[in-house]
Structure 1
Amino acid sequence: MAIRRILTVDNAADMAVLKKISTPVEAVTDDLRHLMDDMLETMYDAPGIGLAAVQIGEPIRVIVMDLARDGEEPAPRYFVNPEILSASEETQGYEEGCLSVPDYYDDVERPSKVTLRYQDYKGETVVEEAEGMFAVCIQHEMDHLEGVLFIDHLSRLRRDRAITKVKKARRAA
């Protein structure tokens, strides 16, 4: 396994990749599992709770996630070609952050419950309901697959402020 570089909004070349719509995966292979293992290691190192393949420069429809809290046993999850089958009309706001928008957090309103279908690490098809933090995280990561960042849900002023903050922090570092 290897830690990969996470693309960020303060770099124009990175931003061009982050805005790409990811392509479907044809099959879950050993090479894809190796990529998912790298993604998981990268996410843990960052640290984060979710990562889409496009965030490491691979614009394919793959997500890894682990919502285990500190002190809990790791619970990695893998989502290949995820799709939302239905979403509740009820919404919830949640303060989101993103590894591609480091050290910036803001409230985003999303459906509070979704039903999704995806392939897991073994390539088996899974259909399940997500609510709470799982629903927030899966929708956030699936946005990445469509070239959408969580800051794209904000007003133009707040989005510009987020990018400026990331750029200033990078220059200071």
Structure 2
Amino acid sequence: MEEKKRHQRLWIIIIAVILGSLFVCAVGAVAGGVAGYIAGRRAARQYVRAPQVIPMTPTPIPRVVPKPQKPEELPETPFAFGAGALVTDVVDDSPADKAGIRRGDIIVEIDGRPLKEGDNLSEIIQDHEPGDNVELRVIRGGRSRIVTVRLERNPNKPGNVPWLGLYYRLLPWPELEIPESDN
């Protein structure tokens, strides 16, 4: 019987510890909530205070106004021909540079085939191999000339990819007459 009483006391102690722990947790939660509420109100009061008046000091207006930079202009080109590729830059020592193609030139034919709206110069060059000679009809200063370019392997791409070595922008215009070739 005594063992039964000891067993009951043990259960009472366990239940008392659990209830005491729950009570302490509840008191802690309430205390934390109240502390958070008070801290939040204090922090909010700092932002609700009347705005401070900041004294203004006059700032002198600069006498020299910088001029806007003018974008670099391409050479003048006549627009009396069909679609083409306007050369915007030529890579130094590239096949195009070696052949004498310059910034501002307009490529209007490749191997006798006129460029049309929707044609892509890069894709047409990809149909060739490094070492191939490509004839380009180029318009410069209103005059047409044929330039032969020997393609090289593209140093920036893996594999045997042909490279012309220039940057361009496609110019779609209605089909008009191309000036006669100088050469």
Q: Which of the five TM-score ranges fits, normalised by the shorter chain?
A: under 0.3
More helix, by proportion: 1
**TM-score normalized by the length of structure 2:** 0.22
**TM-score normalized by the length of structure 1:** 0.23
More strand, by proportion: 1
